[in-house]
């Protein structure tokens, strides 16, 4: 198994875990924001859309016109970026649209990572925007960080789900004897 194969598998796994959690929350609860948590499923999904683009596409292979034609990333960055306020975005984009956009982005990320060579992974990140990548020096670093970042938000989504719609056991609950 190559380094790229491992990155693709880990990306697919992170997407699978995240999607299972997201799909387990009824859409009518996506904007529920538990007290003292200051986040909701809609914001988490919107944030994953833009972060997956940034960490696994933009700084890895550059601007992707197909994505920007389908998703207004500037608007999403304002709504779901690092400095955004989740409560300000309640109801601004429907869960159906967010879910479709996330799945589209996830497919693009997997395709992008699948096409990378070892030489490309060892090369420096692209700098198509003024903002320097917060942790990555190489494209490998950026893709690896995307996986970690996605799983970080998967954990946040699991916490939100537990508070607004009960926990999710991932099939791990002990079986009755």
Residue 175 has pLDDT above 60, yes or no: no
Cβ atoms of residues 99 and 19 within 8 Å: no
pLDDT band with cut points at 50, 70 and 90 for residue 174: low
In this prediction, residues 132-145 reach a mean pLDDT of 95
Identify the band that residue 82 occupies on the pLDDT scale cut at 50, 70 and 90: confident
Give the pLDDT mean for 139-153.
98
Is the separation of the CB atoms in 47 and 105 below 8 Å?
A: no
pLDDT attached to residue 87:
78
> How confident is residue 4, by pLDDT bands cut at 50, 70 and 90?
very high
Alpha helix positions (H), 58-94 = 59-61, 65-70, 73-80
CA distance 45 to 92: 13
> Is the per-residue pLDDT at 177 higher than 60?
no
Percent composition of the chain: helix, strand, coil (DSSP 3-state, to 5): 65, 0, 35
- The answer, yes or no, to whether residue 169 has pLDDT greater than 80, is no
The residue written with tokens 């799945």 in the block is 103
Nearest to 51 by CA among 121, 154, 137, 159: 154
Residue with tokens 């880990």: 10
Tokens (6 digits) for 105 = 């982005």
pLDDT for res 86 = 83
For residue 99, the model assigns a pLDDT of: 98
d(CA 119, CA 17): 29
What's the predicted TM-score (pTM) here?
A: 0.93
């Amino acid at each position: 198994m190559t380094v790229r194969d491992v990155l693709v598998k880990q990306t697919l796994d992170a997407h699978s875990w995240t999607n299972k959690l997201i799909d387990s929350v009824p859409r009518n609860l996506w904007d529920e924001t538990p007290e003292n948590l200051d986040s909701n499923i809609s914001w988490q999904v919107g944030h994953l859309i833009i972060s997956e683009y940034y960490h696994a596409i933009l700084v890895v292979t550059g601007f992707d016109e197909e994505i920007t034609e389908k998703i207004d990333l500037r608007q999403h960055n304002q709504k779901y970026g690092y400095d955004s306020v989740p409560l300000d975005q309640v109801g601004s984009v429907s869960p159906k649209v967010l879910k479709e956009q996330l799945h589209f982005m996830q497919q693009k990320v997997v395709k992008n990572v699948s096409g990378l060579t070892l030489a490309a992974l060892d090369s420096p990140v692209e700098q198509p925007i003024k903002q320097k990548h917060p942790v990555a020096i190489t494209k490998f670093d950026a893709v690896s960080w995307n996986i970690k970042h996605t799983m970080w938000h998967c954990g946040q989504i699991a916490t939100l789900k537990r508070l607004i719609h009960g926990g999710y056991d991932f099939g791990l609950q002990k079986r009755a004897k």
